[in-house]
Amino acid sequence: MATTQERAGQTTEAPVFEDRKHRSLWSDVWRQFRRHKGAMVGVVMLTIITLACFVGPYFYPWQPEAQDLSITNLSPSWEHPAGTDSLGRDVLARVLVGGRISLAVGLAAMTIGTVIGAALGILAGYFKLLDGPLMRLTDLFLALPILPLLLVIIMLFRDRLRGLFGPEMGIFILVVSIIGVTSWMQTARIVRGDVLSIKKKEFVLAAHSIGTKERRMLMRHIFPNTLSPVMVSAALGVAVAIITESALSFLGLGFPSDFPTWGRLLFESKDFLQFAPARVIWPGVLISLTVLSVNFIGDGLRDALDPKLRSR
């Protein structure tokens, strides 16, 4: 991509177009991204949800842990917009605070998965010797039944990590790291494919001929050119991580009950479906809206980063 970018730069700086403003790659990407309606709606929605979760609770009158056994299982009202749960806690307050954890898990797990995936992909694509073993490893991970394994691992290590890092941090570290460690394979495959083709480009040959060292070659020339597939798969990775965390919590094997996440809140409310059906709506809608926004942003990024689609 650097070559196309440089070429594009040359043409725009040609004397004929002198009055035109200089256009960088990222401003082009941003211009294309803004045209994708779904992606823009996704950005707005995700911003609102994030703000509501991280700032909202400071302005909201109810505390998520405050129990009041005289007002259990209330239906939604002006005082409690989402009703109360079986211990008289305000559901909306819990949903907002729970969102912090769900979003944090999504981001952290995506970061781990993307870093591992990009690193292994670049190594496998660039060094011929590592290609075979690393791709076998990727195939092996792809063949693992992820959800059953995640459930098993959480069951086994929950207590141990809780003892080490405390009940909240322990389970957070466990959930984030196992989701991250089991979600890097697609990124690695895409990045490897890209590196294989970038390696053959002239600018790499040029860099080699002026004596660029391997490490600098990877960081300065190869890695920046794989950024667009990495960004797209990172965006989609957030969605996958949020869904996986919610699924684990929904099966009762994620976060403990005093530590609400959206999945955990769904798990708790599913036993009250008969007389408090409204309670599943809030956490479910927020999971769905977040994942939907993230997926739309991913779609928009993919279109914006594709040089074939990006109009000059």
Partner 1 sequence: MGRYIIRRTLVAIPTLIAISFVIFLILDLAPGDPTAQLPLTIPPDVRERLRESLGFNDPMLIRWLKWLQQMMINEPLNMVEQIFGITIGESGSRTRILSWASRAPVVDTIIERLPQTMWVLGLAFIFGIIIAIPVGVISAYKQYSAFDNVGTFVSMVGYSVPTFFTGLLAIVIFSVLLGWFPSFYSTTHVVDWTSWGSIWIQIKQMIMPVAVLSLFNAAALSRFTRSAVLDNLNEEYVRTARSKGLGENRVIFRHVMRNSMIPVVTLIALQIPGIFAGAIITEEIFRVNGLGQYLIRSIQGADVPAVQTLTFIFAALTVFFNLVADITYGILDPRIRYD
148 sits near partner 1 (criterion: CB under 8 A): yes
Residue among 126 and 267 whose Cβ is closer to partner 1 = 267
Residue of 8, 40, 119, 251 interacting with partner 1 (CB under 8 A): 251
298 binds partner 1 (CB under 8 A): no
Q: Which is nearer to partner 1, 114 or 290 (CB)?
A: 290
Distance CA 154, CA 259 (A): 16
Residue among 10, 145, 202, 209 that touches partner 1 (CB under 8 A): 145
Q: Please provide the size of the chain in residues.
A: 312
Give, as ranges, the residues between 202 and 231 that touch partner 1 (CB under 8 A).
none
* Least CB distance to partner 1 at residue 213 (A): 33
121 is a contact residue toward partner 1 (CB under 8 A): no
Please state the closest distance from residue 187 (CB atom) to partner 1, in A.
Answer: 17
Q: How far apart are CA 111 and CA 109, in angstroms?
A: 5
Q: Give Cα 289 distance to the centre of its chain.
A: 14
Name the token pair of 126: 């660039």
Least Å from the CB of residue 266 to partner 1: 6
239 contributes a contact to partner 1 by CB under 8 A? yes
- How near is the Cβ of 147 to partner 1 at its closest, in Å? 4
Asked if residue 45 binds partner 1 (CB under 8 A), the reply is no
| Choices 65-73, 85-93, 100-108, 291-299 (CB under 8 A): range interacting with partner 1 | 291-299
For residue 309, state whether it binds partner 1 (rule: CB under 8 A): no
Round to whole Å and give the CA distance between 160 and 157. Answer: 5
Phi, psi of 83, rounded to the nearest 5 degrees: 85, -175
Of positions 149, 164, 169, 206, contacts partner 1 by CB under 8 A: 149
Binding mask 263-282 for partner 1 (x = CB under 8 A): x--x---x--xx--x--xx-
Find the binder of partner 1 among 131, 193, 253, 310 (CB under 8 A): 253
- Please tell me whether residue 147 binds partner 1 under the rule CB under 8 A: yes
Binding site for partner 1 (CB under 8 A): 38, 139-140, 142-149, 151-153, 155-157, 159, 239, 243, 246-247, 250-253, 263, 266, 270, 273-274, 277, 280-281, 284-285, 287-288, 291-292, 295-296, 299
